[in-house]
Structure 1
Amino acid sequence: MKLLICLSILLLSAGLFAQQPFNGVESNLGNLFRLSNAKSRSISPENFNGAKGGGGKATTGTGANASRELGQGWKVSPSVDIAPGQTYTIAEIDGPGSIQHIWMTPTGNWRYSILRLYWDDETTPSVEAPVGDFFGQGWGRYAALQSLAVCVNPGSAFNCYWPMPFRKKCKITLENIDVQKMVLYYQVDYLLTDIPSDAAYFHAQFHRTNPSHTRRTTSYSTT
């Protein structure tokens, strides 16, 4: 009788575990074996809205001249030009979901390119910082950086791997406050998936007191 009770408890526990699907957001070496119903998507100058199968189909773009003998599928649109004073919308995504990776290579003065991220119905950004400082390049010139959250590779290839969940919507913009045009190469990889009720929102703010003190704060918050 005791054996049957123990087996029943084990089966019940296994059933409860099976009823909790993996949403894919917290992927790591310890759970690579778990299957997920999350839909992976990617936004870039080749695929502005992250449409499934939408990459590599551009016929016009900043690389059109270089790829003129190669044709469609050969990085015809690897980047975008952002004029002085222009705020460019990098991504606008309907949720629920989570940003999993951002890569970008911006030209010009990185202190004059302002990155902003808005979650859900926000009118004030949760992330607002110069693009160089956000990726750990506070001196305005390339410095190799290798960490779990942020990697900056040769050629000023900025990468961040902060999981950034959102419930309704995500909007990412970059404002060029310089007097010169800038060129931006970028890719935003994200998941469309269920987000747990206890998930907080990613925040990062840049603060500076002239002439010499600069700091950046990064956090997760429920507001």
Structure 2
Amino acid sequence: MASFNGLGMHMGNLAILSTAESRSISAENPTGEKGKGAMATPDPAKSPARKLGRGWKAAPYVVIEPGEVKVLAEIAGAGAIAQIWMTPTGAWRSSILRIYWDGSPEPSVECPVGDFFACGWNKYAQVSSLAVCVNPGSAFNCYWEMPFRKRCLITMSNTADSAMILFYQINYVLTEVPTDAAYFHAQFRRVHPLPYKEVYTIVDGITGRGQYVGTYMAWGVHNSGWWGEGEIKFFMDGDAEFPTICGTGTEDYFCGSYNFDVGKENGGYREFTTPYAGLPQVIRPDGLYASQQRFGMYRWHIADPIRFKRDLRVTIQALGWLGDPRKGAEFLPLQDDIASVAYWYQTLPAAKFPPLPSPDYLRIV
């Protein structure tokens, strides 16, 4: 990915000096100000640091009450988010992450926290990629570059009925941002179940100039048999009925092949996680109440961003088999539980996102 003035460091430029100023926001320094970390006074009755005093891990997390919208970061000036780490408690679909750029009233990122970090089924799965890492036991890490010119606002909403605890750290730089740097966006969608013969829309209504950089999907299968024959399609810059880019199958788009299946004798579906693509999560039926197969997949277009000049729409088909594909079977449109996150950069202003589904609709059961 592009870097500027000290952001996006890699092994080839770590020795290059920069005028960028490093800052970090956490519960121990909620404003990110220079020299303002670890200033909290321990609670004399409850804090484990009550005998140690200030500076001894007195405020390492925040509590977000039911219905509360908690401001995690509010940064004035120009700069860029470099890394986000957090480990939220509770149901991840009930915790909504939102990010606003340069004073916009509408979020450019609006997503349940687990799905944003490529872990959509409220269960841990190891993710080892360039853009997102999920590490034991529930450590979410994001490395997407997120430049801003005037202001950055990051919030977390708790839509659950109980309080959540959030440890978090947001690392960023204060620096000049070049005129050709675009703004990061991420949009969540879910359809459950997908209506028969309806194509699933990952994202539509994108207007402006930019590049599409990633897809995460949490796919719950309702039928027996293989479920991933559907093609992903990118309609850009005025495409109508037919897209400019059309893939050859779901597992192909996520950089796998032949059903992600290594054969029954080798364990069937095989999880994998790589820098650019992965199937890090396969949730298998247990023979009792966990009756459906569920999959988590990501594909980052870091080496091959999909450029658009005016507009973009991305869809994928839910397609299985009616009968044996080795004996002349037909495709079967599926009615699955599908959720997705689309990631892209674009100019502002951006089109308003569709309303996020209700907490009941988002719930994973």
TM-based fold match above 0.5: yes
Which residue, 170, 179, 182 being the options, matches 2:164?
A: 182
- Where in structure 2 are there 5+ consecutive unaligned residues? 194-336, 349-365
Match status 1:160 vs 2:142: yes
1:36-115 matched pairs, under 5 angstroms: 36-60=18-42, 65-115=47-97
SS in 2 for 1:84: coil
Task: Give, in angstroms, the shift of residue 64 of structure 1.
Answer: 5.4
Partner Cα separation in structure 1 for residue 137 and residue 38 of structure 2: 23
Q: Which deviations, in whole Å up to 9, do the C-alpha atoms of 1:67-126 show, x marking residues without a partner?
A: 222222121100011000000000000121000010111000000000000000211100
Partner Cα separation in structure 2 for residue 32 and residue 129 of structure 1: 32
Contact 1:91 1:170 in 2 (8 A): yes
Match status 1:122 vs 2:247: no
Partner Cα separation in structure 1 for residue 46 and residue 21 of structure 2: 31
Q: Structure 1 segments of 4 or more deviating over 3 A? A: none
Higher relative CO (Cα under 8 Å, sequence separation at least 6) belongs to 1
Partner Cα separation in structure 2 for residue 60 and residue 146 of structure 1: 36
SS in 1 for 2:169: strand
SS in 2 for 1:132: helix
- Could you tell me the TM-score, scaled by structure 1's length? 0.87
- Where in structure 1 are there 5+ consecutive unaligned residues? 1-21
Match of 1:196 in 2: 178
SS in 1 for 2:114: helix
Partner Cα separation in structure 2 for residue 56 and residue 152 of structure 1: 26
Match of 2:344 in 1: 219
Match of 2:9 in 1: 27
Which amino acid counterpart does residue 34 of structure 1 have in structure 2? Answer: I
Partner Cα separation in structure 2 for residue 153 and residue 66 of structure 1: 26
Which amino acid counterpart does residue 155 of structure 1 have in structure 2? Answer: G
Partner Cα separation in structure 2 for residue 110 and residue 60 of structure 1: 29
Match of 1:173 in 2: 155
Match status 1:139 vs 2:264: no
SS in 2 for 1:111: helix
Which amino acid counterpart does residue 113 of structure 2 have in structure 1? Answer: V
Q: CA RMSD in A?
A: 1.4
Q: Which deviations, in whole Å up to 9, do the C-alpha atoms of 1:12-58 show, x marking residues without a partner?
A: xxxxxxxxxx6111311111121101110001111110011211221
More helix per residue: 1
Contact 2:8 2:82 in 1 (8 A): no
SS in 1 for 2:156: strand
Q: 1:144 to 1:27 in 2, by over 3 A?
A: same
